[in-house]
């Protein structure tokens, strides 16, 4: 046990101290900050800068309705609207005002523009997001103007056009729980893809570590002091500890950023405010999946003699990881279907697909327990099998082993 611990410590410290580990650990939180909090901060900064927008319409009622929407509570602080009743000859005058900087832009909401369905927004600078926002505002204002022109009171028009939000609710054990929405989709996709990348990245790191020491003949020196089982266990657990450290840093960041008040998007807030059970099961499925696949990668590194040979054979280990990613969208859309249930029970797929189901819609506890039980049993058998291949393969040099030779290694090791 002491020798195994020494190898674990060496493998762990050797990788944790590298610049690549530090950069990759910081890079994901920095990326999440860039796509969550930073846009909200920039949007809030933009909201503090009022834009002088002229609503140019053929009649005052349309101009007032659109102007009212621009200056509504939701857009307060963003636009400073001004209404003008114009004709076609007024467009050049407005263009000159934009060029001179006396106004920031104008909306051309004449009767002809409304009839053709092509209202234009002219400004010194525009963005795709602002165009979409203004489109919703103008549509809302034009509808209100049409209703008022038919004799409807403003209060009645507001009541009719009031937006309705749908909250999905699911029943679990007689209790109502939120079914989630777009934010839950982001959480499921992001965490699952992160889990996939971690399994591949650290599995291949284990393979390269074995291959480097085998090709440099350092392995022969190490085997004079430790057994092959201690060496394989130390490498697998040491590299896995690095992965767990990285996941721990990311989980802490997710918890911290989830409580930030700077996130204005409800979808992102929902994605980041994940249940505690999902954060707990993330390292559990990583550990089990990593033990399964890193053992295969370690055996592969012991079998081959070069990086080129390893690349030719690693598809055998990678394909069982690609299949869950290829079927992930189907499982996310119908997490309780027979296909999703049985696929998540297959040990080589369950580290990813069962976690997808848990993030999308928590399956019955017996399914989670059965999936983890099958995964643990399969991992144990795979570790025994790969340890035998590893024991013989690390000292075999020369030609690439054939499948019958590998079977003999397993049989007599």
Residue 27 is assigned to a structural domain of this protein: no
Asked if the structure places residue 98 within a domain, the reply is yes
Q: Which residues contact 262 (CB under 8 A, 6 or more apart)?
A: 37, 40, 41, 44
Same domain, 112 and 237: no
- The reported pLDDT for the residue numbered 188 is 64
The confidence score (pLDDT) of residue 92 equals 85
User: Which residues fall within 8 angstroms of residue 87, CB to CB, at 6 or more apart?
Assistant: 58
pLDDT of the residue at 373: 92
End of a domain among 128, 160, 192? Answer: 160
User: Does one domain contain both 265 and 379?
Assistant: yes
Give the whole-angstrom CA distance, residue 20 versus residue 196. Answer: 19
My answer on whether 119 and 198 are in the same domain is no
Say if 3 falls within a structural domain. no
Query: Would residue 18 count as lying in a domain?
Result: no
pTM of structure: 0.62
Residue closest to 146 by CA, chosen among 107, 109, 106, 108: 109
Residue 345 lies in a domain: yes
CATH number at residue 103: 3.40.190
147 and 190: one domain?
no
* Same domain for 197 and 152: no
Domain end call among 93, 128, 160: 160
Residues 316 and 323: their CA atoms lie apart, in Å, by: 12
pLDDT value of position 124: 77
Q: Is residue 171 part of a domain?
A: no
Domain-embedded: residue 9: no
User: Nearest-CA neighbor of 199 among 207, 211, 187?
Assistant: 207
**What parts of the chain have a pLDDT lower than 70?**
1, 28-49, 72-78, 126-130, 165-188, 217, 219-220, 223, 254-277, 397-399, 412-413
At residue 86, the pLDDT reads 81
Indicate whether 369 and 326 sit together in one domain: yes
| pLDDT digits 0-9 by tens, 391-402 | 777 777 666 777
- Alpha-carbon gap, residue 356 to 325, rounded angstroms: 10
Whole-angstrom distance, CA of residue 383 vs CA of residue 389: 10
Report yes or no on 223 lying in a domain: yes
Nearest to 290 by CA among 342, 224, 351: 351
151 & 186 share domain: no
- 192 & 121 share domain: no
For residue 374, what pLDDT is reported? Answer: 93
Residue 302: per-residue pLDDT: 79
- Supply the range of the domain harboring residue 99: 49-160
110 and 186 within one domain: no
Number of separate domains in the chain? 2
Considering the domain architecture, whether residues 127 and 203 belong to the same structural domain is answered as no
Shared domain check, 349 and 266: yes
The token pair at 164 is: 């309705």
Same domain, 364 and 289: yes
Last residue of a domain, one of 160, 188, 218: 160
């Amino acid at each position: 046990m002491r020798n195994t611990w020494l190898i674990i410590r060496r493998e762990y410290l050797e990788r944790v101290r590298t610049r690549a580990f530090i950069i990759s650990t910081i890079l994901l939180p920095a990326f999440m900050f860039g796509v969550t909090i930073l846009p909200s901060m920039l949007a809030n900064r933009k909201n503090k800068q009022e834009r002088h927008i002229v609503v140019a319409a053929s009649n005052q009622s349309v101009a007032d309705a659109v102007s009212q929407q621009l200056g509504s509570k939701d857009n307060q602080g963003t636009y400073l609207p001004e209404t003008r009743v114009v004709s076609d000859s007024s467009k050049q005058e407005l263009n000159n005002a934009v060029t001179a900087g006396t106004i920031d832009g104008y909306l051309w909401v004449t009767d002809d523009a409304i009839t053709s369905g092509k209202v234009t927004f002219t400004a010194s600078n525009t963005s795709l997001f602002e165009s979409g926002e203004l489109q919703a505002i103008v549509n809302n204002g034009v509808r209100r103007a049409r209703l008022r022109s038919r004799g409807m009171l403003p209060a009645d028009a507001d009541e009719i056009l009031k937006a309705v939000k749908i909250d999905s609710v699911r029943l679990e054990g007689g209790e109502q729980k939120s079914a989630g929405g777009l934010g839950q989709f982001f959480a499921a996709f992001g965490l699952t893809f992160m889990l996939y990348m971690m399994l591949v990245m650290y599995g291949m790191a284990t393979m390269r570590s074995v291959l480097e020491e085998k090709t440099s003949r350092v392995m022969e020196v190490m085997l004079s002091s430790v057994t092959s089982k201690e060496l394989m266990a130390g490498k697998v657990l040491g590299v896995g500890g690095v992965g767990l450290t990285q996941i721990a840093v990311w989980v802490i960041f997710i918890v911290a950023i989830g409580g930030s008040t700077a996130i204005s998007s409800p979808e992102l807030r929902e994605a980041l405010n994940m249940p505690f059970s999902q954060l707990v099961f993330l390292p559990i499925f990583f550990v089990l999946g990593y033990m399964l696949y890193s053992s295969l990668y370690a055996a592969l590194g012991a079998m081959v003699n070069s990086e080129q040979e390893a690349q030719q054979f690693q598809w055998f280990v990678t394909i069982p990881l690609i299949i869950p990613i290829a079927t992930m969208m189907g499982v996310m859309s119908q997490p309780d279907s027979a296909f999703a249930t049985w696929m998540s029970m297959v040990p080589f797929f369950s580290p990813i697909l069962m976690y997808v189901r848990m993030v999308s819609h928590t399956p019955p506890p017996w399914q989670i327990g059965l999936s983890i039980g099958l995964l643990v049993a399969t991992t144990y058998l795979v570790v025994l099998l790969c340890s035998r291949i590893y024991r013989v393969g690390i000292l075999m040099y020369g030609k690439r082993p054939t499948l019958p030779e590998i079977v003999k290694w397993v049989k007599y090791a």
